[in-house]
Amino acid sequence: MLTRFQKTLHAILSLLATLVMVLSGVALVVLIATFGWLVFGRYALNQTPTWVEQLALLLIVFITFMASAVGVRDRTHLAVDLLFEYVSPFTRRIILTVVHLLLVGFGLLMTTHSSTLMAFSWDTEIPLLGVSEGLRVLPMVLGGLLTAAFAAGNIVDDWVAEATISASAGHDSDAVSLPRSAAAETEDDLPDAVAASPLPSPQA
């Protein structure tokens, strides 16, 4: 059975992922609008807004690191799953767990080192914008934290999904294992958090 902790964790991480994607979408719209103003100012007004380039670099960093963290949550990054065709479901789940643990470590490592860089550059201003240079590094700090949190959440989802399916199969006293159709019905009864893809491909 799904635990209350897993349900709460999944809801929080899903809401956080949605919020990050909305903010990234807004940043992308602002990026496009500022470049439109750059073209208009240069060719129509003959007065180039020089601040656009610096703002664009700031927005690109934000979009890149934040949206890539959501890719970990949604499991949309490039993956090589050839090995998965030749191993058992349990071994597959172990591999996924190792991959996500590596992502947790990578996210925490990125947060630690980028925090040091942000503190070092905080007193420097971005030319033409007048804001702290540390804001360029802030998305790396947040992206690392989100990557670690989303990868940890995926581990919980994977193992709770397996436990739920196994428990459902154990209630069937007429057969040792569920037939294909019965297993499909069991997965259909699960919440979307675990029924969508109990054995996703690892991140590359």
| In the chain, domain spans | 4-195
| The pLDDT value given to residue 3 | 75
User: How distant, in Å, are the alpha carbons of 85, 181, 194 from that of 186?
Assistant: 23, 9, 11
CA atoms within 13 A on the CB side of 24: 21
Q: What is the pLDDT of residues 129-155, one digit of tens each?
A: 889 999 999 999 999 999 999 999 999
| The pLDDT value given to residue 113 | 96
| The pLDDT value given to residue 2 | 57
Read off the pLDDT band of 186 (50, 70, 90). Answer: very low
What single letter denotes the amino acid at residue 191? P
Q: What's the mean pLDDT when you consider all of the chain?
A: 82
Percent of the chain with pLDDT over 70: 77
Dihedral angle, C-alpha 80, 188, 18, 65, nearest 10 °: -10
